[in-house]
Structure 1
Amino acid sequence: MNYNKVNEYIHKQWMRKGLLSNILYPISQTIKFLLFIKNYLYKSKILKVFRARIPIIVVGNIYIGGTGKTPVVISITKELKAKGWNPGIISRGYGVRIGNTAKVGYKDVDYSEFGDEPTLITKKTGAPISVHPKRCIAIKSLLHNFPNIDIIISDDGLQHSSMERDFEIIVQDNRGIGNGRLIPSGPLRDSVLRLDQVDLIVSNRINCKEMINKSICLEKSKPYHIDMYLRPEFAFNISGLKNNRPISYFNRNNYHRKIVAISGIGNNERFIKTLNDCMIYPSSHIKLMDHCKLNNFSFCDISADAILITSKDAVKYSGSKDPRIWEISVAAEFSDKDFFSYLSNQMHQASMKLKDHL
């Protein structure tokens, strides 16, 4: 509860330029200056930039955490595979110890070694993944272990200037840029100017009714803008002791007397909003820190007929024998159905240029 209150207070401060934000503003200005120096050193080639032999797509955000970039990475990976590409994923592996060498795996990996988001991505896509804080190390290890990969999708990495990329995507949600200030005075990891420098901005809408029918207009200059909605797909029983169910199985018209929701993601409120949109109204919602796992007490201590968790949290509890635990899976639905064809064509062009120059 203390964490939730502090977290809510900080995010409220980040949405306006209040007293706490103003007190921390000088620190944010220092960070802004350091970011400027870093970017200048890379752009002027004083610091070396790593160039992979294949195209790289970066999916990131400037608002700190919880904007929905992981579902975007999963969707892009699946769609590019369907179009004949052989993608690989790189990620930092937040919350786990990596060491000097990258962790490289495929499909069935241990989340305690790779992190929850990388584990979820490779589980949902079947694509190889390489995890290391230094992206160049992750790329080299990925290509060494899977030499047939012909495109790389970077889960986050927008601020990693040492890695050259061919297409940049920023994912935003309803919080936008908050008060427009860098951390700790605001919620931004990068300057607002970054929004004008990327190829595409994806707006993650709260529900499908808010999604505007936007499409990429090649007559306009970049960045292009499209909308996205995280559509609930299915409920998976992580114990395997019960059959999987449609989401509607848990709505208020069904027999479940008490439902508890648990989430440890960057924007916990989005999970409860997703459930409410499906007419599911949990009696309580246990909010954990992003990437956190329930370890202070067991699920046995939770009084509920059904316990609903996110896909990101489900990878932490795989192997659980509690039949009450259900993963609520979501999939990114985009306003532009031709976006993936456009992206694939752009990457084919990038691949041809790399073959000519490398």
Structure 2
Amino acid sequence: MSAKPSRATGQMPRYWYEQAPVPLHARLLAGLYGGVVALRRRLYRDGRRSRHPGVPVVVVGNITVGGSGKTPLTIALVDRLREQGFTPGVASRGYGRDDAGQARWVDADTDPELGGDEPVLIAARTGAKVRVDRDRVAAARALVEAGCDIVICDDGLQHYRLARDIEIEVIDGRRRYGNGRLLPAGPLREPVERGAGCDFRVLNLGEDREAGGGAGFGEWPMRLRCGEAIPLLGGRPRPLSAFAGQRVHAVAGIGDPERFFAMLRGLGIAVVPHAFPDHHAYSEADFEFGSRLPVLMTEKDAVKCTAFRTGLHFSVPVSAELPEGFWVALLDRIGARGGHSCGNEERIR
């Protein structure tokens, strides 16, 4: 059964996020998938199958397929925890990398095809130790052995073998849960109730100029701030306002490319959009647009384009901002659970 959109096209079924009928076969498969998900959660509920690395573990994830803002939040977590005296490390699967079976350390110079685009971005932005491994337990243990005293697991909400102290669900503020159905009838990896059981629920509202409403009860709003375009060939950053009134090629290979395009349009930039599948492996041919305009791309895309960058290519980094109350509550929870005294059954409901 298909558990995600095609990597070849990046297209999600219309009925996931639009008012369209769900095919019968998708509904039947969703019932089967739901049974497998429920059985797997029961197997891990008592905690006997899970393993803890011995330091606090914070898991960042979502219950929908596709991007929701996990990477900017992970970067913000690393930065804030470091300010508080922690030595954080990041464990990730490294989705889409060529040697997925090989565990490795990732830094800013790692080839994204080997380390994964998001781990390379996290390493470049934070300088933290980043370990990619399909076995997140092994990755967490490697980070502890390397001197980390807290582990952030990027996109690990469904990786139940790694016991966790704090779970953070990230929700796309524009699309939320779509039609609310499980895969493949809808975008949900797990039932909506699973998210309600997380310690924190963060609603990604994007950039200030985006519509999308406010956070609901029990949700912490997250804004993504941007203001500069970084030349890939080096040199001084340019304010995004410098592109206002100009036509640009906008490139996004993320879970929701339209979010990036809308952000640029909100700044008065005339966008020629180029949407690619999430985690797309770029080639020089992908940028043969037929006109020599500036090319603005997400930071996650830019780390994969250094081999054929030109003076027209710019990266647009974003930074996650959350209310101070979120950080106070999170640090308080980390302090209370630093000894991982809570049983894993509390994390898997």
TM superposition score normalised by structure 1: 0.86
**SS of equivalent to 1:297:** helix
Q: Is the 8 A contact 2:243 2:269 kept in 1?
A: yes
Tell me the equivalent position of 1:154: 153
User: 1:97-138 CA distances to partner (integer Å, 9 max, x unpaired)?
Assistant: 345552113443221211001100111111110101121121
Tell me the equivalent position of 1:229: 223
Tell me the equivalent position of 1:218: none
How many angstroms apart in 2 are the aligned matches of 1:5 and 1:112?
16
User: 1:228-256 CA distances to partner (integer Å, 9 max, x unpaired)?
Assistant: 1211131100011x42111111111xxx5
How many angstroms apart in 2 are the aligned matches of 1:302 and 1:251?
21
How many angstroms apart in 2 are the aligned matches of 1:112 and 1:119?
10
CA 99–260 in structure 1, closer or farther in 2 if over 3 Å, else same: closer
Tell me the equivalent position of 2:334: 347
How many angstroms apart in 1 are the aligned matches of 2:8 and 2:44?
40
* Superposition deviation, residue 194 in structure 1: 0.5
How many angstroms apart in 2 are the aligned matches of 1:161 and 1:81?
26
Q: Is the 8 A contact 1:259 1:306 kept in 2?
A: yes
User: 1:300-347 CA distances to partner (integer Å, 9 max, x unpaired)?
Assistant: 55412201110000110125440000011111122x223223212221
Q: 1:337 aligns with which of 318, 324, 327?
A: 324
Q: Is the 8 A contact 2:55 2:338 kept in 1?
A: yes
Map 1:11-50; keep pairs closer than 5 Å.
11-16=13-18, 18-45=20-47, 48-50=49-51
Asked if 1:309 corresponds to 2:302, the answer is no
Tell me the equivalent position of 2:3: none
Tell me the equivalent position of 1:281: 270
Q: 2:240 aligns with which of 247, 259, 276?
A: 247
Count of residues paired in the alignment = 335
Map 1:82-161; keep pairs closer than 5 Å.
82-98=83-99, 100-144=101-145, 146=146, 148-161=147-160
Q: Is the 8 A contact 1:238 1:319 kept in 2?
A: no
Tell me the equivalent position of 1:177: 177
How many angstroms apart in 1 are the aligned matches of 2:337 and 2:170?
22
Q: Is the 8 A contact 2:101 2:134 kept in 1?
A: no
Q: Which amino acid aligns with 1:201?
A: R
User: 1:176-213 CA distances to partner (integer Å, 9 max, x unpaired)?
Assistant: 11111111110111111112210111111144265878
Asked if 1:271 corresponds to 2:272, the answer is no
Listed as ranges, the gaps of 5+ residues in structure 2 are: 1-5, 342-349
Q: Which amino acid aligns with 1:44?
A: D
Segment of structure 1 superposing worse, 184-193 or 91-100: 91-100
Q: Which amino acid aligns with 1:275?
A: L
CA RMSD of aligned residues (A): 2.6
* Superposition deviation, residue 22 in structure 1: 3.5
Tell me the equivalent position of 1:219: none
Q: Which amino acid aligns with 1:337?
A: E
Tell me the equivalent position of 2:345: none
Listed as ranges, the gaps of 5+ residues in structure 1 are: 216-222
**SS of equivalent to 1:38:** helix
CA 99–321 in structure 1, closer or farther in 2 if over 3 Å, else same: closer
Q: Is the 8 A contact 1:238 1:320 kept in 2?
A: no
Q: Is the 8 A contact 2:282 2:304 kept in 1?
A: no
